[in-house]
Amino acid sequence: MSSSQTSSPLAQDITLPCGVTLPNRFGKSAMTEGLADAQDNPTDKHQALYGTWSDGGCGLHITGNVMIDRRYLERAGNVVLEDDRAMPMLQQWAQAGTRGGNHLWMQISHPGRQCPKLVNSNPMSPSDVQLNMLGNFGKPVPMSEADIEDVITRFATTATLAKQAGFTGVQLHCAHGYLISQFLSPKTNQRTDQWGGSLENRARLARRAVQAVRAAVGAEFPVAVKLNSADFQKGGFSLEDCVTVARWLSEDGIDLLEVSGGTYEQLSLMGVESTEVRESTRKREAYFIEYAEAIKQAAQVPLMITGGFRSRKVMENAIEDGEIDLVGLARPLCTQPDLPRKLIEKKVDFADSYEDSLVLGTGFWGHNSPLSLIKGINSFGPVGFYYWQIIRLAEGLVPQTDLGVLRAFFRHLANDFKLTMRRKKQAG
């Protein structure tokens, strides 16, 4: 590369507290893939997808949800890692996903109450607060002490197996309303024992899981956490909570903190912005960057912000100003898998964006608009659009960017149903 091409701050490497160095300032944030086989094992499609992304120049890739418990999935098509039965395929996935000289970290997760009813109608959660979304989720069973200890052990087991397979780090999913996030939020955690009530108690599962993973993988293996800056719900996990938990997690030895936000009920995680997000933040693109300073000061570990970054100038300024240490990208890599390389080499100034076109207006339905349906399509149609691009990349095809929001929405529903039925048939 010429000196002008390498002058971007996005090209700088960064050394983590554990001593590992990431080659540049881009991190691919986790996106659920839905590519596992009927036995919940990785496939050659994972190799194709992550090989393509690895070639794209991003310094750190984080996989989509890898489940720690086969009984509870975020969706059918998740990879589950409880034992070494699929170790050869895991190793091939790790090899393909690091062939570009980047890191590939496995995101390990438990969905808690956000396990679809078609997968398990009796999910686990800290309390019996049900997620009411189109009847898709069952009433959760409050977890016993033994259930909680089992989850902690499972996080450590999955992390150990990920390291054995050749993944170069792990990320514990403590955001977006999944199990650990459910414990952190007073809306979903109504316990009165040592796992509920005060923030210290509500954060106990997150801290214990991180500590168990660190003990299992050793001091020189990267351990990261994805944490909500806030749930953006009244009475939920707040920014003040986040700042405190971030400090505790840094004391527990994490190497990178990725900050996002929202839950299924408040879809800030998908770009459906909360009213709490200021107009100045919208203009700066990154949804959660206004919280970065307080979190970074508290955590004292490298910080990755994901959500909204689209222009190279905004990304470079955020790194140069020390607001963040890594730029998190997700959706743009579904349609431009080589975007990080092009941004670093200054061949493009902006990521392609399709969000504005993936919206239905009420006029589509006339005056008798079923607004809840339109809201659902506008929330999950874009999700389906990007999932479809992931499927195409995994099949060696180019993205299909002319897919409309309505087609994307129903195609995604049909695909998820097909994956669920395939899994149920396999289970007998």
- The three-class DSSP label of residue 393 is helix
As beta bridge partners, residue 226 has: 173, 258
Specify the length of the chain in residues: 428
Residue 287 sits at the vertex; the CA angle it makes with 404 and 65, to the nearest 5 degrees, is 70
User: Distance of CA 346 to CAs 2, 5, 308, 353, Å?
Assistant: 11, 6, 19, 18
The predicted structure's pLDDT at residue 293: 86
Question: What is the sign of the dihedral through the CA atoms of 387, 389, 391 and 394?
Answer: negative
Q: How far is 14 from 165, CA to CA, in rounded Å?
A: 24
- Per residue in 213-260, pLDDT (tens digit) is 999 999 999 999 999 887 666 677 888 999 999 999 999 999 999 998
Confirm if 293 and 256 have CB atoms less than 8 A apart. Answer: no
Structure tokens at 399: 């993205």
pLDDT band at 307; cut points 50, 70, 90? confident
Neighbouring residues of 9: CB distance < 8 A, sequence distance ≥ 6: 25, 316, 319, 320
Is residue 274 scored above 70 in pLDDT?
A: no
Amino acid (1-letter code) at residue 284: R
Is residue 351 scored above 80 in pLDDT?
A: yes
Q: What is the dihedral of CA 75, 81, 86, 90, to 10 degrees?
A: 90
Confirm if 162 and 81 have CB atoms less than 8 A apart. Answer: yes
Q: At what angle do helices 204-217 and 239-251 cross, to 10 degrees?
A: 30
Q: How many CB atoms lie within 10 A of CB 29?
A: 25
- Per residue in 20-43, pLDDT (tens digit) is 999 999 999 999 999 999 999 999
Residue among 321, 326, 322 nearest 224 (CA): 326
The predicted structure's pLDDT at residue 358: 74
- Across the range 115-137, mean pLDDT stands at 91
| Helix ranges restricted to H, 37-195 | 44-54, 87-97, 145-165, 179-184
Q: How far is 176 from 178, CA to CA, in rounded Å?
A: 6
Per-chain mean pLDDT for the chain: 89
Is residue 363 scored above 70 in pLDDT?
A: no
Q: How many CB atoms lie within 10 A of CB 313?
A: 10
CATH of domain 3-353: 3.20.20.70
Q: How far is 166 from 180, CA to CA, in rounded Å?
A: 25
What is the separation, in whole angstroms, between the first and last Cα of the chain? 56
The predicted structure's pLDDT at residue 270: 39
Q: What are phi and psi of 250, to 5 degrees?
A: -65, -35
Residue among 272, 95, 244, 300 nearest 176 (CA): 272
Neighbouring residues of 115: CB distance < 8 A, sequence distance ≥ 6: 72, 73, 74, 123, 137, 138
Residue pointed to by tokens 């009411």? 132
- Per residue in 315-347, pLDDT (tens digit) is 999 999 999 999 999 999 999 999 999 999 999
Residue among 210, 192, 301 nearest 250 (CA): 301
DSSP tag of 311: B
Q: How many CB atoms lie within 10 A of CB 163?
A: 20
With 0-12 / 13-18 / 19 or more C-beta atoms within 10 angstroms meaning exposed / middle / buried, residue 219 is exposed
- What pairing do the DSSP bridges indicate for beta strands 60-62 and 103-109? parallel
Q: How many CA atoms lie within 13 A of 241 on its CB side?
A: 25
Q: At what angle do helices 204-217 and 145-165 cross, to 10 degrees?
A: 40
Give a three-class secondary structure readout of 151-171: HHHHHHHHHHHHHHHCCCEEE
pLDDT band at 378; cut points 50, 70, 90? confident
Amino acid (1-letter code) at residue 359: V
Is residue 276 scored above 50 in pLDDT?
A: no
With 0-12 / 13-18 / 19 or more C-beta atoms within 10 angstroms meaning exposed / middle / buried, residue 83 is exposed
Q: Where in the chain is the domain with CATH 3.20.20.70?
A: 3-353
